A and B are shown apart, each in its own frame.
Chain A
Amino acid sequence: MIKVTDLSKNYGPVEAVKSISFDIQDGEIVGFLGANGAGKTTTLKMMTGYLVPSQGSIEVNDMNIIDHTHEIQKQIGYLPELNPLYTEMRVYEYLEFLAGIRKITGRAFKDALARVVEQCGLNGVVHKTISDCSKGYKQRIGLAAAMIHDPKILILDEPVTGLDPNQIVEIRGLIKSLGKEKLVFMSSHILQEIQATVDRIIIINQGEIVANGTSDELMSNFMGNVLLNMEVKGAVRESVEHIQAKLPSVKFIGMEEVNGIQSVQFEYGKDKDPREDLFHYAVENNWSILKMNPHTTNLEDIFRDLTKDGGANA
């Protein structure tokens, strides 16, 4: 379990992360979402012990990162944002080096190597020089490096950036399968990626957490009004504008007519669906309904709404 409390990080006068708090339970896959420069990577760097927080605390399984940096680092596998690798080394040499630092040698290393080669699909490139591998394979090598010691916690910074759609699906599947037994905390600025992979989403904007919950919770908490587009025949402006008196939950937005078809926009609250009443109203007024299309707020709208003030300043 990871518990982050009032965590802040300042780079000189710039506050990259401003007093954020959240926790992640074992067996959870949590997505950390934010625009570029929102403070995601800084937070992850503090969680892995690369940077020291300016304020606040990070506890991993009740151990503080400042006092027990190495104990925590033993439990964490980390894939940094740009996936830095020693490109002149062969894949197995690189993994052997990392395993060596983690005291996995000899037979134990061979077993660990076989496991990550299987999990990350590295068959066929183990003896290749890293610089000769494709970007997709390099990303897998980075993941294998993060998993060579079979950590309980995986922290992945933008794990699918730069991959093609097929590779994204593969890596997503791998992360999902890992999430069954591990705590996975992954950052991304690609919403679809997060939505498809994680159990819970934390959204950060300008160093502050602006949302924390499952995709459904975020939808119900942040969903605004529903915009309804109707196409009808035979409607006149007076009867359309009169609708507000008859159906108070519906707000008339606008109307235009093209080739005898009237396009009408209404807005209504997310909890009160007036479409049936609208249908009866249309029948009473002799309108023929051609189309009725409600546009509900999706997660992308919520994300854009929550992070619209974000900038690349952290």
Chain B
Amino acid sequence: MHNIRTVFRREMQGYFNSPMAYIFLVIFAVVSGYFFTNTFFLFGQSDLRVLFDIVPLVFLFFIPAVSMGLIARENNIGTMETISTLPLNTYEFVVGKFLAGFCLILLGLAATSIHFFTLVSVGTNVDYGAIFSGYLGLALMGATYTAIGTYASSVTENQVVAFIIGVFFVLVFFMLDKTLVFVPHSLAGILQFLAVDYHLSNISRGVIDSRNLIYFFSMVGFFIYLTIQTLEVRRWK
């Protein structure tokens, strides 16, 4: 746990010592804010549904961008060699990195809370439960995408390649339930269960089902496991 915290802290320092984190947070706030406020006063509805619809689309590109450098950069500048010769378990390194990326995503989400306060101050009959479950869904989706991005970052030392691989995987899991009409009926159920959007829409509706939670946690666990294996295998090559 101590080592995970140390890796996490270094990564956060890395984000905030460079313009990376600030650029991410500002652009994320501006993009999501623009789409939200554009229609918020038009419809006159006391909910954040527009926000919860737009953020998953923003995540598709933002999270691979945030996570592309997590491990690829270490491989690129050679610090992976220093890291690998420290008494540090690979899982501690990967989990620390993942948590740092995830934390930045949570900070991005926290920045959108300004819209929540706007809603509370001008809206009526605010459904706090729906807002809570909406944020929970986005956080779980963010964790899943960050895990996928961390894995993409571990398979290459080129950050641009890591970004492209990350976007590809994220898009696949995002698009799965939109292709159901094209696949045989027997596969449709499986593909739907694998789709991120399917589970997100369940949670966003306010239904916090253990199946959805298990799905998100399994996805995070699976991609973190893949990342650890990718790094371990490299030592034996």
Q: Does B39 make an interface contact (CB < 8 A)?
A: no
| Chain B residues bordering chain A, tally (CB within 8 A) | 24
**What separation, in Å, do the CA atoms of A49 and B88 have in the docked complex?**
11
Known interface pairs A50-B235, A73-B87, A88-B17; A97-B82 also in contact (CB < 8 Å): no
A87 contact set on B, CB distance < 8 A: 77
Smallest CB separation, B194 vs chain A (Å): 35
Smallest CB separation, B72 vs chain A (Å): 14
When C-beta atoms are compared, the residue in chain B nearest to A80 turns out to be B81
Known interface pairs A73-B86, A84-B79, A88-B14; A11-B6 also in contact (CB < 8 Å): no
Smallest CB separation, A73 vs chain B (Å): 5
Smallest CB separation, A74 vs chain B (Å): 5
Smallest CB separation, A41 vs chain B (Å): 10
Evaluate contact between A73 and B79: CB separation under 8 angstroms: no
When C-beta atoms are compared, the residue in chain A nearest to B84 turns out to be A50
Q: Does B179 make an interface contact (CB < 8 A)?
A: no
Evaluate contact between B86 and A50: CB separation under 8 angstroms: no
Smallest CB separation, A40 vs chain B (Å): 14
Q: Does A93 make an interface contact (CB < 8 A)?
A: yes
A78 contact set on B, CB distance < 8 A: 82, 85
Q: Does A24 make an interface contact (CB < 8 A)?
A: no
A82 contact set on B, CB distance < 8 A: 78
Interface residues of B (CB under 8 A from A): 2-3, 6-7, 9-10, 13-14, 17-18, 77-79, 81-82, 84-89, 235-237
> What are the 7 closest A-B residue pairs judged by CB atoms, nearest first?
A84-B78, A100-B6, A70-B87, A48-B85, A73-B87, A84-B79, A97-B10
14 pairs across A/B with beta carbons < 8 Å?
A50-B84, A78-B82, A78-B85, A80-B82, A84-B82, A86-B10, A86-B14, A86-B77, A88-B17, A93-B13, A97-B9, A100-B3, A100-B9, A101-B86
Known pairs A52-B236, A73-B87; list 7 more (Cβ under 8 Å). Answer: A48-B85, A73-B85, A74-B87, A80-B78, A80-B82, A86-B14, A101-B6
